[in-house]
Amino acid sequence: MTLHFGFMNKTRIYFLPFILLAVTIVIAFGCAKKEKAAAQVSLAGLARDITDLGRLARMDTPPARIETSFDRKGGNDDFNNVLRKESDGWAVLADLKGPGYVSRFWFTGAENGKHPLRFYFDNEKKPRIETNLEDFCGGRSPYLPPLAAYEPFCWFSFVPLPYGKRLVISTKEGGFKAGGNPKIFFQVNYCPLPENTNVESFPKVLSAAESNGLIQAGNKLKQLSQNPLLPPNLRETTNILTIQPGQSADIPQLSGPAIIRELRITPDMSAITSAVQRNKIMFKTVLRMYWDKNKAPSVEVPLGNFFGSFWQIRQFTSAYFGATNRTFYSRFPMPFASSARIEIQNDTDTPLSFNVSAFMENLPAWTNSLGYFHSGWKKSSPEDIGKPHRIVMTQGHGRIAGCILAVTSLDQSWWILEGDETMRVDGESFPSWHGTGLEDYFNAGWYYGNALVRSFHGLLMKAFFTTIQYRIHQTDPIAFDKSIDFEFERGPDHASRGFMESISFYYLSMPDRADSDISANVPRAPPNDPFAPVSVMMALNDLERLGDFNGATDYIDCFLDKYPDYPYKQILRLRKIGYLEREKGFTAAKSQYEQFCAGETNEMARKMAEMALWFNSDPGNALLGVYCNTRTGIYMDGKFVGEAGSPERMQFFGLQIQPGKHALALQSVYRDYPYWVQACLRTHSGDIYTSPRWKYTYAPKGNFSVPDYDDSAWMVTGGTEESKGPPVDPYIWLEPHPFVDMQSKAKGFWVTNDWPNKQEKAVFRANFQIP
């Protein structure tokens, strides 16, 4: 400073303001550098981000990219396309330059869970993580479900993997051999960070705090898919809207700056006795939302679809949307600077009333780090063959938050699910985001198992050949500065005939018109599914898996309204009584069973109703259902009960079981794929049903008995809890029956190892205790 201030007085006075300014800039720049350098990205912080329900609305979160095994030649061979192959038989899936973090790892095609993985951090010569798919994806703490799992038919992990300089992910070449060549499919979602970000790379050894943080993140994920907790001190506003046919109404304008943290809408259905009319509300009412007095709606969707209730009310709970007790909820954060307007349009032919509640968090001031929520509806049809199904195409600066997609194929095939998702960011000629298959994007594989609901992804329905699925980009939002074009291939080469219908979720820096087909007057009625008459049981079983027995009853009513001459209509009506029993107990259903028996002329239906009454007439009575597509002998405590083996129906047997220890065994002959054994024993002390925990061994033909209950030397059947079917195509028909939950709870399984002697039978067994 002496040098600068040792000038003549006039010079010193003239330059003094500039010198002080320079000093201020240097100090400020130094503080800014120090402030930026202090920012930390760590495993603990990333683990907390996984369950932060306010995160989606932030425009300053790290954007995600993806590395996948998609077919670089443009075909459907989306496997074995690795970054590079090493000389030692290992293949590099991703080589990520830091800083950054992996937010999702997805893999399928491996022959088993012992397939090895290596993760090299920060140019280390030895892998910091050396593991296998089973341990890394759900098999060992803290990599536990639902944070990491094997379901359905794929391995995945949301455990964040931060890296400061570099992360190389590799695996052994080869995998499951289908058609001759080993096939492995993979997706690695990662978020690059600015170069000056201070990242604590994934530790060589997890501390107790880090391990507990991952376990807590998993526990919170479970809670988010069951009963998410809202932030405290929210401002609530509730209004009743009564809307005449062809009219619309909106709640009083909400004032900001604020964030809607939950929106609840309850249609008043007390006077609507028809399930057909109730379901019309799902697609014949329109929900619109307007931000900051913008004239165009930023949300424009069929009301039911927006909450996941495509074509009928579907009761389920996920982190961001669902329905409970026929109240719809959305927990997408919806920030607005000055005002919000919520409108419902009634396109039905009857007056409707809605209870609309908004729970808001006040903001001290608006910040540009928040985005405006947008949602649109799109539908394409078989006439669009040759073209992709577009989820959203829009202009501006924003983030993709996720989507719900319903698919109905008309080709008697799952081939439509082979379509890849692509996202073209900011006008790219070739998409930087390119997936490996529709179900892969939704965190599944191999045409799915049965319905399941998770916080940020799920399968709400699977029936031949229809699926409803969703995914939220909680930790891997796709960022764009100018534009986004997000679409799904209509099967390979867009050649599959079918309907695709979707809801998009995205954020923009400014309110804009939702990219929606509603304004184009595209028909919103459910697609005409030609396979519904043969897949009715699969649809009902999936609703039961969601715990939605009211929805299952409505499904039967709508089904019989459409197919009044269905040959099994009496069985389906009897199943409705079963749903009443499931919800309110046998006492509430007894008189209906008796009336059904007295008046029913269909012998098959009457005998099943009599069986339901017989089961409830004595605590020692039990009902056994067995469904398999290979000849199977059934044994209770070593005594032959009967035989099953038809791929078209579940066989039922009435048993009397005394208190004590028992063993249920199923003895099956060998058969090629597809194969399954499924059973449920209904007792008055609980159901015993097939699951991966059952044991199995082999027995010589004609020489099987149960001399004792020691199964310590038997093998565990294993496999996934989320089984595929049954039935499994090409078997698509399952004869209706009235016994609720007996198939939706039971898992279909088979021998999980090589069958050593195909002349021997496999014996599956479970020991159980009747108190």
Closest CA to 667 of 658, 659, 677: 677
Model confidence band, residue 227 (pLDDT cutoffs 50, 70, 90): confident
pLDDT at 30 (0 to 100): 45
pLDDT at 636 (0 to 100): 94
181 beta partners:
none
Provide the percentage of residues in the chain whose pLDDT is more than 70. 93
H or E element at residue 241? strand 235-243
pLDDT score of 702 more than 80: no
DSSP-based helix, strand, coil % in the chain, nearest 5: 20, 35, 45
Is there a domain that residue 167 lies in?
A: yes
Q: DSSP of 321-363, one letter per residue?
A: EEEETTEEEE---EEESSEEEEEEEE-SSS-EEEEEEEEEEE-
Average the pLDDT over 127-151 and give the result.
Answer: 95
Of 556, 591, 617, which residue constitutes the final position of a domain? 617
Pairing of strands 466-472, 398-409: antiparallel
Average the pLDDT over 573-602 and give the result.
Answer: 96
Is there a domain that residue 265 lies in?
A: yes
pLDDT score of 181 more than 90: no
Is there a domain that residue 270 lies in?
A: yes
pLDDT tens by residue, 472-520: 999 999 999 999 999 999 999 999 999 999 999 999 999 999 999 998 8
Whether residues 613 and 623 share a domain: the answer is no
Is there a domain that residue 45 lies in?
A: no
Whether residues 324 and 205 share a domain: the answer is no
Is there a domain that residue 147 lies in?
A: yes
Whether residues 210 and 116 share a domain: the answer is yes
Whether residues 630 and 582 share a domain: the answer is no
Whether residues 410 and 484 share a domain: the answer is yes
pLDDT at 737 (0 to 100): 97
The two structure tokens encoding residue 263: 């929106």
Whether residues 542 and 674 share a domain: the answer is no
pLDDT score of 123 more than 90: yes
Of 584, 617, 650, which residue constitutes the final position of a domain? 617
Of 599, 617, 635, which residue constitutes the final position of a domain? 617
pLDDT at 630 (0 to 100): 94
User: Tokens 């000038």 correspond to what residue?
Assistant: 7
pLDDT at 230 (0 to 100): 78
Whether residues 63 and 171 share a domain: the answer is yes
In contact, 283 and 271? CB cutoff 8 Å: no
Question: CA 492, CA 215: separation in Å to the nearest integer?
Answer: 40
In contact, 214 and 325? CB cutoff 8 Å: no
Half-sphere exposure of 355 (CA within 13 A, CB side): 11
Model confidence band, residue 4 (pLDDT cutoffs 50, 70, 90): very low
Is there a domain that residue 550 lies in?
A: yes
Pairing of strands 40-41, 198-199: parallel
Q: Over the chain, what is the mean pLDDT?
A: 91
Q: The domain that contains 127 carries what CATH number? A: 2.60.120.1390
Between 40 and 227, where is the model more confident?
A: 40
Question: CA 667, CA 636: separation in Å to the nearest integer?
Answer: 11
Average the pLDDT over 459-474 and give the result.
Answer: 96
What is the distance between the terminal CA atoms of the chain, rounded to a whole angstrom?
Answer: 91
pLDDT tens by residue, 269-304: 988 989 999 999 999 999 999 999 999 999 999 999
Average the pLDDT over 420-434 and give the result.
Answer: 97
Q: The domain that contains 740 carries what CATH number? A: 2.60.120
Whether residues 320 and 377 share a domain: the answer is yes
Model confidence band, residue 710 (pLDDT cutoffs 50, 70, 90): confident
Question: CA 554, CA 274: separation in Å to the nearest integer?
Answer: 9
pLDDT at 432 (0 to 100): 96
pLDDT score of 11 more than 50: no
Whether residues 185 and 250 share a domain: the answer is no
The mean-pLDDT minimum among 202-211, 221-230, 470-479 falls in 221-230
Is there a domain that residue 421 lies in?
A: yes
Number of domains in the chain: 5
640 beta partners:
635
pLDDT tens by residue, 15-53: 333 333 343 333 444 444 444 444 689 999 999 999 999
pLDDT at 756 (0 to 100): 87
Q: Which domain holds residue 14?
A: 2-38
Question: CA 95, CA 319: separation in Å to the nearest integer?
Answer: 32
Provide the percentage of residues in the chain whose pLDDT is more than 90. 84
The two structure tokens encoding residue 371: 């985005």
pLDDT score of 706 more than 70: no
Is there a domain that residue 748 lies in?
A: yes
**Distances in whole angstroms, Cα of residue 44 to Cα of each of 159, 511, 639:** 11, 34, 56
Q: DSSP of 96-158, one letter per residue?
A: EESSEEEEEEEEE--SSTT-EEEEEETT-SS-SEEEEHHIIIIIBTTB-TTTEEE-SSSEEE-
Identify the burial level of 553 via C-beta atoms within 10 angstroms of its C-beta, where 0-12 means exposed, 13-18 middle and 19 or more buried: buried
Whether residues 96 and 164 share a domain: the answer is yes
Whether residues 644 and 735 share a domain: the answer is yes
User: Tokens 């990491």 correspond to what residue?
Assistant: 148
pLDDT tens by residue, 318-343: 999 999 999 999 999 999 999 999 99
pLDDT score of 678 more than 70: yes
Question: CA 722, CA 451: separation in Å to the nearest integer?
Answer: 8
pLDDT at 753 (0 to 100): 80
Whether residues 450 and 595 share a domain: the answer is no
pLDDT at 182 (0 to 100): 80
In contact, 430 and 516? CB cutoff 8 Å: no
